[in-house]
A and B are shown apart, each in its own frame.
Chain A
Amino acid sequence: MDIRPGITRRYSLIIAATGLLILLLTVSASFMVVWTGAGDVKKSLKENTAIIYAETHHAMLKNLAEYLRHNLFNFLYHLDMERINRMINDMRKGMPVKSFIVTDSSGRALTDGTKENISFGMQLDIDFKAVRLSPVRIEKIADGSRVVFLIGTNDYTAGYGEIIFSEEPLKKALKMQDSAVLQIWDGFKGSFIKIALAVTAILAFITFILGILFSRTLSVPILKLTEATRKIAAGDMSHRVEIETADEIGELAGSFNTMTDRLQKEMELRGEKERLLMNQSKLAAMGEMISAIAHNWRQPLNAMGLIIQGIKDTYEFGGLTKNYIDESVEKSMKQLQFMSRTIDVFRNFFRHGRQKSSFDVKLAIGEVLSILSAQLKGNNISYRLTCRAHNRTSEDFSEIVQCDEMTITGYKTELEQAIFNILNNAADAIVGRMCGRMPDKDGKGLIDIDVSRESNKVVIRISDNGGGIPEKIIGRIFEPYFSTREEGKGTGIGLYMAKVIIEDNMGGRIYAENVENGAMFTIELSLTPSEEGSNCER
């Protein structure tokens, strides 16, 4: 089966694009959630770290101050400034100490632990009363904490210590934490993007493949249906679609097959009807033909009667010579040949041939005219056939010559039958008019046949001066069993069969219209590509 992958491709792409879009939206949403979450975690981490730091820092400062106030006491009591300095410097090494001053009992700075000792002599701002009540006091100051503690015992104050602790370590810790979180986040982001890209690529591929498979489940049955439709359209009514699934597609295939069954039956029924009508039509035509043959034979039979009578008379008057007999025989043979030819045409006309063949439309019309010519002549109806390809008009069927431009491929006999019916109708109309039903000014009948080539069609226009078709029935003239003739004279199937032959069997078109003094039937037939060029011969 020739499966065109258009639907598959389209749906695959749509499904893949939809899947990819959903995936991208999911990934983006996840990324947004993670991003927001990471921001919250960072903020929370920072706040918690600050709180934990503050709590532990406060406890640590308190413990440290307690330790110092006891350990510095002996050194300060003995004014061992070297040891105090060493202690201060040890503190500076391990702690974020901005300044550490030890004062005497009046709050006057003794040492800040440095060699320069620039704080020496400075009076520190110490709330002595408060420190005596609570020997370790911790205050929050800008960028750090201030710890003031009493160095001494309950009974003796050797001095005071003041330490300014910097918050720099907290800031550094937070900065490092931020940096670490950022680093982790960057790493995570990089991995996330890589994984997302890889997963997207894999899923895009999987989605595309699934899309193809899914689309094929949809498109393949449709393509099979399309193929079946094409075959049925081409006339293969035996073709059926295989029902593979029990879903909507299977239902569609079943309906299609049912429809095809019915169509096949309808077609068969219609064919039967058509054959019946064709036979009826042929029988009717046969009657017409017999009448025409009778017309055709009347003249030669009269002529032969006269020849025979002449032989007898000549013999009786003693004038019968060999020469006279030869002439009479020759004349008789001519009449017999004419009659024989009439029979041949008649026989050919009724030969059932369903084989398409190339034939010249003008010659086919000529053959019909040869059958009808005697009848037409007997009814005082003349005819003329004009070939527009060469602007040549023939007023007798024997003058009609072959013309390649008017050659088509189709069913010649059927076309002849259709034209016979039209010409017969035209003749009837003219005869009717002559009999007074439709009086004419000059009383002479004329059938005008015009054959032309219009683009890729051969157009046959048959007009008469039979008075035309009443407008109220012009739309029904191609209906079966529709006739305006008297009961018993017309079957009403001639024009119907003409339409079936032209439009259904030969793919052409036929329509009727009224023209001046009569009606005109136009037949349009498609050319075959081989009928190109012009070659008219006598």
Chain B
Amino acid sequence: MIMTVAIRLFLIFISALILYVLPASAEERPLSLGLISNNPENRIKEYMPLMNNVAGRLKEFRIKDARVVVAKDVGEMMKKIERGEVDVVFESAFSTIEMQEKAGMMPTMLVWRKGVREYRTLFFVRKESTVKSLSDLKGRTIVFEDPNSTSAYAIPKAELKRRGFTVLPLNEKMEIKDAVRYVFAGEELNQAFFVIQKRADAGAFNNNDWDELSKKISSELRIIHETQPMPRYIASFHPRLPEKLRKAIEVIFEEMDKNPEGKDSLKRASRITKIERLADADLKAMKYVKEIMEFIE
């Protein structure tokens, strides 16, 4: 009896030991950052220093090194998230919301990509145009950048639709009264010239592109509407990532711009100037994005 009890205790000890050792070995893995891009080589090159910096500070969490995983679009990124191949994803507000809704990603931090915290989409017309507001665009033509653009196509188109406009391509033969017809100019600058040269009545792109315009050109244009601000870039975490580890990463991200090494690795990764926690206003902005997204096809 005593012998049986001793054997049982020994087996329990061995099992506990195995249970203790096995999970620890499984957790020793890389920290993966997910990005969406058509140029994985450049992205990996740009972001590896940042992720190595972060991973180097997470030894206590059995993080042995870092990895940058690049997907060509949101759909591919979703699959990677499902497979647990990524821990953190840096993406635009729209993609982040999609990943949040479909894959349970947790957006917690705002990334100042290229030094830009947030952006708005501006609607502009010629200075002497009779168009004073979005409502005046009925039956008129607007110029967008290209179908892949968020701030110069998706958002303005969605904003117009949210306001009840029918928005159709210029060459769409469907005859709908008061529909806003649109053309693509290919580049933001071209959009401005389309408006100035009267190929379109209005144009729309983000406030940063507006600031880039020559004063001589912008002085010939007039802004008739600005959307609500939207976060430029958001860091979201995989839901299966241990909370302690996520928080540790958040702290590291938050402190990165405060030391030269971290500042340098941020700069090399798409000229990021800082990473901060999402504020209430940002969450509100996310809500607006979510609303807008409903009107995006």
Using CB atoms and an 8 Å cutoff, list the residues of chain A in contact with chain B. 78-82, 85, 104, 110, 114-118, 120-121
Is B197 a contact partner of A115 (Cβ separation < 8 A)?
Answer: no
Instruction: Please measure, in the bound complex, the distance between the C-alpha atom of A21 and the C-alpha atom of B187, giving whole angstroms.
Output: 82
Chain A residues closer than 8 Å to B220, beta-carbon distance: 121
Instruction: Please measure, in the bound complex, the distance between the C-alpha atom of A118 and the C-alpha atom of B215, giving whole angstroms.
Output: 8
* Given A81-B190, A110-B197; 6 other pairs, CB 8 A cutoff: A79-B185, A79-B199, A81-B189, A81-B193, A85-B189, A115-B214
Is A80 a contact partner of B187 (Cβ separation < 8 A)?
Answer: yes
Is B197 a contact partner of A82 (Cβ separation < 8 A)?
Answer: no
Is A117 a contact partner of B186 (Cβ separation < 8 A)?
Answer: no
Given contacts A79-B185, A79-B197, A79-B199, contact A117 B216 (CB under 8 A): yes
User: Would you give 30 A-B contacts (Cβ < 8 Å), ordered by A?
Assistant: A78-B190, A79-B185, A79-B190, A79-B193, A79-B194, A79-B197, A79-B199, A80-B185, A80-B187, A80-B190, A81-B189, A81-B192, A81-B193, A82-B186, A82-B187, A82-B189, A82-B190, A85-B189, A110-B193, A110-B197, A115-B212, A115-B214, A116-B215, A117-B216, A117-B217, A118-B214, A120-B214, A120-B216, A120-B217, A121-B216
Given contacts A79-B199, A80-B186, A81-B187, contact A116 B214 (CB under 8 A): yes
Chain A residues closer than 8 Å to B199, beta-carbon distance: 79
B209 to chain A, nearest CB (A): 12
Chain B residues closer than 8 Å to A81, beta-carbon distance: 187, 189-190, 192-193
B208 to chain A, nearest CB (A): 14
Q: In chain B, residues 172-230, which have Cβ atoms closer than 8 Å to a Cβ of chain A? A: 185-187, 189-190, 192-194, 197, 199, 212, 214-217, 220
Residue of A nearest to B200 (CB): A79
Q: Is the interface of B mostly helix, strand, loop or mixed?
A: helix
Instruction: Please measure, in the bound complex, the distance between the C-alpha atom of A81 and the C-alpha atom of B197, giving whole angstroms.
Output: 12
Q: In chain B, residues 5-23, which have Cβ atoms closer than 8 Å to a Cβ of chain A? A: none
Instruction: Give a binary string over B119-144; 1 marks a CB under 8 Å from any A CB, 0 the rest.
Output: 00000000000000000000000000
Instruction: Please measure, in the bound complex, the distance between the C-alpha atom of A115 and the C-alpha atom of B220, giving whole angstroms.
Output: 16
Instruction: Please measure, in the bound complex, the distance between the C-alpha atom of A110 and the C-alpha atom of B220, giving whole angstroms.
Output: 12
B60 to chain A, nearest CB (A): 48
B207 to chain A, nearest CB (A): 17
Instruction: Please measure, in the bound complex, the distance between the C-alpha atom of A81 and the C-alpha atom of B189, giving whole angstroms.
Output: 7
A151 to chain B, nearest CB (A): 14
A118 to chain B, nearest CB (A): 6
Instruction: Please measure, in the bound complex, the distance between the C-alpha atom of A115 and the C-alpha atom of B212, giving whole angstroms.
Output: 8
A80 to chain B, nearest CB (A): 6
Residue of B nearest to A79 (CB): B193
Given contacts A79-B194, A104-B197, contact A118 B216 (CB under 8 A): yes
Instruction: Give a binary string over B99-124; 1 marks a CB under 8 Å from any A CB, 0 the rest.
Output: 00000000000000000000000000
Chain B residues closer than 8 Å to A117, beta-carbon distance: 214, 216-217
Instruction: Please measure, in the bound complex, the distance between the C-alpha atom of A116 and the C-alpha atom of B199, giving whole angstroms.
Output: 23
Please indicate which of the listed interface residues A81, A114, A115, A120 has the most CB atoms of chain B within 10 Å of its own CB. Answer: A81
* Nearest 8 A/B pairs, CB to CB: A117-B214, A82-B187, A120-B216, A79-B193, A81-B193, A81-B189, A82-B189, A81-B190
Residue of A nearest to B187 (CB): A82
Instruction: Please measure, in the bound complex, the distance between the C-alpha atom of A79 and the C-alpha atom of B217, giving whole angstroms.
Output: 14
Instruction: Please measure, in the bound complex, the distance between the C-alpha atom of A118 and the C-alpha atom of B217, giving whole angstroms.
Output: 9
Chain B residues closer than 8 Å to A116, beta-carbon distance: 214-216
Instruction: Please measure, in the bound complex, the distance between the C-alpha atom of A137 and the C-alpha atom of B235, giving whole angstroms.
Output: 57
Instruction: Please measure, in the bound complex, the distance between the C-alpha atom of A79 and the C-alpha atom of B192, giving whole angstroms.
Output: 10
B245 to chain A, nearest CB (A): 44
A275 to chain B, nearest CB (A): 133
Instruction: Please measure, in the bound complex, the distance between the C-alpha atom of A85 and the C-alpha atom of B190, giving whole angstroms.
Output: 11
A408 to chain B, nearest CB (A): 123
Residue of A nearest to B188 (CB): A82
A207 to chain B, nearest CB (A): 78
Instruction: Please measure, in the bound complex, the distance between the C-alpha atom of A116 and the C-alpha atom of B197, giving whole angstroms.
Output: 19
Residue of B nearest to A118 (CB): B216
B220 to chain A, nearest CB (A): 7
Chain A residues closer than 8 Å to B214, beta-carbon distance: 114-118, 120
Instruction: Please measure, in the bound complex, the distance between the C-alpha atom of A121 and the C-alpha atom of B219, giving whole angstroms.
Output: 11
Residue of A nearest to B186 (CB): A80
Instruction: Please measure, in the bound complex, the distance between the C-alpha atom of A85 and the C-alpha atom of B189, giving whole angstroms.
Output: 10
Chain A residues closer than 8 Å to B197, beta-carbon distance: 79, 104, 110
